[in-house]
Amino acid sequence: MSLRIVVLLLLLFTMNLSAQDRWPGFLGAGTSAIKADSIPTSWSPEKHLEWKSDIPGYGQSSPVIWGDQVYVTSVEGPEKEKLHVVCYSLQSGKQLWDHIEPSTNPEKNSVYISRAAPTPVLDENGIYAYFESGDIVALSHEGKRKWAASLTKRYGAPQNKFGLSASPVQWQDRLMILIDDEGPSYLTAVSKADGSELWKTDRKSRASWSSPMLVPVGETFQVVCSSAGSVDGYDPQTGKQLWTYEQVGGNNKTSPVPAGNGQFLIGASPGREGDNNELAKKSNGLFEVKQQDQTWQPQFVWTNPSPVPSWATPIVYRGNAYWVNRVGVVYCFDAIDGKEVFTSRIKESCWATPVGLGDHIYFFGKNGVTTVLQAGNEFKVIAENELWTEDAPPVNNNPTAAEDSEERRRSAAMFSRPTLYGAGIVNGYLVLRTGSQLYCIH
């Protein structure tokens, strides 16, 4: 089963179909069909850049789209005390509304701590935005507040010193949120209607920033979590853990995007100190879960020790699997057997996950250069597209919190330039987001 068919199946299960174009969740989960020729393969600040809009505060989430409306989240203030959900017109870039929710768990606004990192989800009733503070806010498409809930008040504050970034996944009447933390860790489902708990399943404590994904397995769906030492499958209806696989390591950043029925890719890399090095080399590949004699059988179909991904999740597109590492090396493997197709370097590393459209794959470079590759077995660069010029003004990404060490001050200086965090795509429009600006290619 192709990834495009899987995505369309996810759409059927997560929301009611309508004629509207939509990119309603992290990594496009539940996206509507996109005409590949409606998206340019080349652009620049002077060509195909339809509009550019400022975002209040700073955020690392991806944009999401419903019809003619684009949504982003951000945080603002010395303690990230203001949580923004902002809506723009897709056609003009005009800001339509900005809802500010007070944080129930203020913490230092720093480049070292995630800032509005989780991507919200959309359905026909509105937007559901979750922040690393533990706050969830539900709004209508007109910006009217429907309800708010605090997982921090409900279960306690997270303890990860770098913050949380896992995005929620939606299924039918619920949102499922993964809190993998140095303190209490859990997967929970909350009601879209009022934010109440539907179920909560405790997990082993761990430090991780990967997001859960809804994966078709057999005739149903499972919530799959690939996170810091295990890959786990859960029943979205009850929260029951169905299976676990623990012979993995370094899988704490990328998400298990579906690659077929019961199949998804796992990405893993050693930590900064080289921890999990040997196990991480055995943890990049195609994973499969299937049922045999009433028992779930999780296992790798194949692995490859070469790729070391950073934040960009590996994808399967047109029979090939793609990883991109922290210096921009693209690894392409045959998705069926894992044989190497090519290994070559593009201009920039990617924090946003690549997207395949038609005959092309878009790699969104961290520093604003999107490399468009020809899909297939040959490494062929179609275009290298700059979103901003070298003399782009510094980003006011952290105006209120001084860093307390020379190392942290150097890191803050590194993040003083724009960083491309995520993309959203519907027919005719490619929307890209940095910490404080939104760009639309048309």
CA 273, 275, 278 angle in degrees (round to 5)? 130
Q: What CA–CA distance (Å, rounded) separates 162 from 115?
A: 10
For 130, the domain range is 3-441
Q: What total of structural domains would you count in the chain?
A: 1
Q: Is the separation of the CB atoms in 127 and 141 below 8 Å? A: yes
Residue-wise burial string across 180-196, b where 16 or more C-beta atoms lie within 10 A, e elsewhere: bbeeebbbbbbebeebe
Contact predicate 206/184, CB 8 Å: no
- Vertex 407, ends 401 and 412: CA angle to 5°? 45
The CATH number assigned to the domain holding 431 equals: 2.130.10.10
Could you give the CA distance from residue 128 to residue 132 in angstroms, rounded to a whole number?
A: 14
Q: Is 88 exposed, middle or buried (0-12, 13-18, 19+ CB in 10 A)?
A: buried
Per-residue pLDDT tens, the chain, 442 aa: give them.
Answer: 444 444 444 444 443 334 589 999 999 999 999 999 999 999 999 999 999 999 999 999 999 999 999 999 999 999 999 999 999 999 999 999 999 999 999 999 999 899 999 999 999 999 999 999 999 999 999 999 999 999 999 999 998 889 999 999 999 999 999 999 998 999 999 999 999 999 999 999 999 999 999 999 998 999 999 999 999 999 999 999 999 999 999 999 999 999 999 999 999 998 766 667 889 989 999 999 999 888 999 999 999 999 989 899 999 999 999 999 999 999 999 999 999 999 999 999 999 999 999 999 999 999 999 999 999 999 999 999 999 986 665 565 554 555 565 655 555 556 668 999 999 999 999 999 999 999 999 9
